[in-house]
Amino acid sequence: MSKGRYAKVEELFELTKEDQYPPLITELAEAFGLMMVKVEVKEYRLGQVIDTLKKANDELSGAKERLSAENIHLRKGLRHKPLPAGFIGTNPQIRELIAKAEKVADTPLNILVTGETGTGKELIAKMIHYNSSRKEGPFVVLNCSALPETIFESEMFGIEKGVATGVDKRIGKIEQAEGGSLFLDEIGDMSLSSQAKILRVIESCELERVGGRKTIPVNIRIIAATNKDLKKEIGKGTFRGDLMYRLDVVNLHIPPLRERKDDISLLANSFLEQHARRLGRGKMHFAPEVMDRFAEYPWAGNVRELENEVERAVVLSPQSTITVNDLSEGLKRSGEAEEPWKSPVSMKATEMDLIRKTLRITGGNKTKAASMLGLSREGLRKKMNRYGLV
């Protein structure tokens, strides 16, 4: 209490003494004294509240600074999070590929990922998406080879209600990817007419639904992938050059597994640990001769085929150590040929023989055979056509 206020309180206290002042003065003095006490209490409590708020504000400021620092740390950590299983290893080509992917991830550039079937093109596309500023947006996948020409427009662009009897409004893959990334897998298998339509979307950043009358703006990043040489396809007249240059702003080529043989052991053991744990098999190991077979094998299906082979062995092996007897027929026979990938003729013969044997094992079931070979069903169909095995 200030000295001035304290003096006034003393004066009021004097006026409350009985028999010295009229009763009315005494009552008024008591009332004013009580009011001053209440004001003093309120001011004291207000001071406590202000102190509490100041303390809370200081704590919030500290928390904000800590969260800001953690956010920066997490953003940096995204650049160094564990790589997809198919890209572990020490191969210089893979190291260069990962570094390049990380560098372009947070840019608006369209990207073309090239490589053989099973090398991990979709894994790289996902890594790029989830390391970019679009990571909170959707990652939408469209397999161009599996999309018939007759339904391309409705699947890609969507369709308005009432276009045909019983047809409801549906958004397409492009709109589903709004604010995120659209992964166009097997872009080399897209028809020329479909290529022209997707090119228009890339150039105008807008689309029209089937049966629609208005344009819809779109904000997507396109990551395309193919196992074909698009320049050769342009030469053959099956792919548009203007579309390729729109997609191939940045090219990421994934080397086949046979060109990164030193990584096979690391990859195989990583898959072994992963699938043994998932399937409840406990700690498992490869016999030394198994790794020799892995190194000799051509791996037509690349990393995907290797993973499928390891998963199959984990399921079928009766013991904790996987031996040659637990491998598929193609792996069991791989020691009979010396480095078949060095000869196209030998490579073709090996693949044809492997496809035939796998189809016999699966009773002609192409879906199961494709899975065992580390191929998609469409990939197997193309190889069978190429080798005249249909």
pLDDT tens, position by position, 237-261 = 999 999 999 999 999 999 999 999 9
| Domain count across the chain | 3
Q: Are residues 96 and 211 in the same domain?
A: yes
Q: Is 385 or 203 the better-scoring residue by pLDDT?
A: 203
Residue 43 lies in a domain: yes
For residue 32, the enclosing domain spans 3-65
**Could you tell me if 243 and 276 lie in one domain?**
no
Are both 121 and 239 inside the same structural domain? yes
Provide mean pLDDT across the span 279-290. Answer: 92
Q: Which two tokens stand for residue 57?
A: 């504000």
Helix/strand/coil for 153 = helix
Mark whether 203 and 237 lie in a shared domain: yes
Which pTM does this prediction carry?
A: 0.65
* C-alpha distances in Å from residue 139, one per residue of 65, 171, 318: 32, 15, 40
Shared domain check, 195 and 118: yes
Does residue 76 fall inside a structural domain?
no
Indicate whether 18 belongs to any domain: yes
Q: Tell me which of 79-88, 121-130, 147-156, 366-375 is least confident.
A: 79-88
- In terms of domains, do 103 and 117 share one? yes
Do both 59 and 89 map to the same domain?
no
pLDDT at 150: 81
* Mean pLDDT rounded to a whole number for the chain: 82
Instruction: Check whether residue 118 and residue 231 sit in a common domain.
Output: yes
86 or 222, higher pLDDT: 222
Mean pLDDT of 83-108: 87
Dihedral of the CA atoms 117, 79, 96, 341 (nearest 10)? Answer: -30
Helix (H/G/I), strand (E/B), else coil: 351:
helix
pLDDT-wise least confident of 98-107, 150-159, 279-288 = 150-159
CA-based nearest residue to 322, from 311, 330, 333:
311
* DSSP code string of 220-252: -EEEEEESS-HHHHHHHTSS-HHHHHHHTTEEE
- Show which of 227, 255, 283 is a domain's final residue: 255
- Give me the amino acid identity at 39: V
Q: Which of 18-22, 92-96, 264-268 has the lowest mean pLDDT?
A: 18-22
pLDDT digits (tens, 9 = 90+) for 62-78: 766 666 655 554 554 44
310 & 268 share domain: yes
State mean pLDDT over 278-296. 92
Does residue 58 share a domain with residue 159?
Answer: no
Residue 74 lies inside a defined structural domain of this protein: no
One domain for residues 327 and 355: yes
Copy the structure tokens of residue 340: 């078949």
Span 318-341, pLDDT tens digits: 999 999 999 988 888 776 544 444
| Same domain (yes/no): 125, 245 | yes
